Amino acid sequence: MNKGIAVYPGSFDPPTNGHLDLIQRGSKIFEELVVAILRNSEKSPMFSVAERLEMLRALTADLKNVRIDTFNGLMVEYAKSIDAVCILRGIRAISDYEYELQMALMNRKLEPTLETVFMMPADKYSYVSSRLVREVAQAGGPVKGLVPDVVEQKLREKLDPAYKFHHANFVEAPEVDQNKKTSDKKRKKKA
């Protein structure tokens, strides 16, 4: 374990198993790892910052030296404000390298005392990205194994609001007397 705080910044829209893998690896190396969600992204996100915060908090509840936070503006300014000595980023494939190199060098120009450390997630997640997960889920494809179960559930609820209603109504509903059982159709109508 190294002394010091590292910041792992990103959009996490949504968090994937690749992100989680990197968080677990990072938490073993740094004294404290702060996963920082960018608040003022230009992109229109699928999940609100509050939703991403909640998902990441739930996913990292068992990692005692991991904290989830949000930030605005320059990442290096945020990193300095929490006394981070390091920026953690993941590199999945060579295609990530150019963008990551550019960002790391820009961050170094902005704040020479902050080092960027790259780690590789497990190779089984090397093709997993939040963008592709969103794309597959939006087209109705399966994302099991690519994102944690809690994220898969949130994706379902987000893309098919009827799922939440259906799930709450039929799975969590108390058992009813089979003779008095309301038909699915009637129950849907009532609600």
Q: Does 114 bind ligand PNS (CB under 6 A)?
A: no
DSSP for 138-159 reads: HTT---BTTB-HHHHHHHHHHH
List, edge to edge, every strand of the sheet that includes 2-10. Answer: 66-71, 30-38, 2-10, 84-90, 115-119
Nearest 5°: CA angle at 101, between 96 and 107? 125
Q: Is residue 68 at the binding interface for ligand PNS, with CB under 6 A as the rule?
A: no
Q: Which of 10, 18, 26, 45 touches ligand PNS by CB under 6 A?
A: 10
Size of the site for ligand PNS (CB under 6 A): 9
Q: Which of 161, 92, 103 is nearest to 130 (CA)?
A: 92
**Catalytic, out of 19, 52, 134, 154:** 19
| β-strand pairing of 66-71 with 30-38 | parallel
* Residue 130: active-site member: yes
Q: Which of 29, 63, 103, 150 binds ligand PNS (CB under 6 A)?
A: 103
Q: Which CB, 118 or 163, lies closer to ligand PNS?
A: 118
Is residue 119 at the binding interface for ligand PNS, with CB under 6 A as the rule? Answer: no
Catalytic residues: 19, 43, 92, 130
User: Which residues of the chain form contacts with ligand PNS (CB under 6 A)?
Assistant: 9-11, 38, 74-75, 103, 106-107
